[in-house]
């Protein structure tokens, strides 16, 4: 399967998806650590892709998403943003609202 098709499928099949370096329990960079902690604080399950283990995704996702850095948070098929946006949304309470609403809608 083409790598762009793989990316599209991952985004379509996961309501909340974090592309990050490492895993939520063992992040490999500070930005990924902060992003995954903010997401875990929302209390909903989320999927993640370790881009260090997936070099094709690491190479192609920035062009597909038109977003140059990692981590990248996708909710309900839409790019939310990177670490700064995720942590700002977490601090304001917006992140939990967005994630909970998307998960609830996906469960309908």
Q: Is the pLDDT of residue 1 over 80?
A: no
Average confidence (pLDDT) over 46-69: 96
Q: How far is Cα of residue 37 from the mean position of the Cα atoms in its chain?
A: 12
Average confidence (pLDDT) over 42-53: 97
What predicted TM-score, i.e. pTM, was given to this entire model?
A: 0.96
Task: Give 87-99 pLDDT, tens digit per residue.
Answer: 999 999 999 999 9
- Give the per-residue pLDDT at 72: 98
Q: Which domains does the chain have, with CATH numbers?
A: 3-107 (3.40.30.10)
Q: How far apart are CA 98 and CA 25, in angstroms?
A: 22
For residues 57, 99, 103 and 8, what is the CA-based torsion angle, rounded to 10 degrees?
Answer: -20
């Amino acid at each position: 399967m083409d790598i762009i098709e793989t990316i599209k499928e991952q985004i379509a099949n996961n309501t909340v998806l974090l592309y990050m370096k490492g895993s939520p329990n063992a992040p490999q960079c500070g930005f990924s650590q902060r992003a995954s902690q903010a997401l875990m604080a929302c209390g909903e399950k989320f999927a993640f892709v370790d881009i260090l283990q997936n070099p094709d995704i690491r190479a192609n996702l920035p062009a597909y998403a038109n977003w140059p850095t990692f981590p990248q948070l996708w909710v309900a098929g839409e790019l939310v943003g990177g670490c700064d946006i995720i942590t700002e949304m977490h601090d304001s309470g917006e992140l939990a609202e967005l994630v909970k609403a998307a998960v609830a809608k996906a469960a309908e």
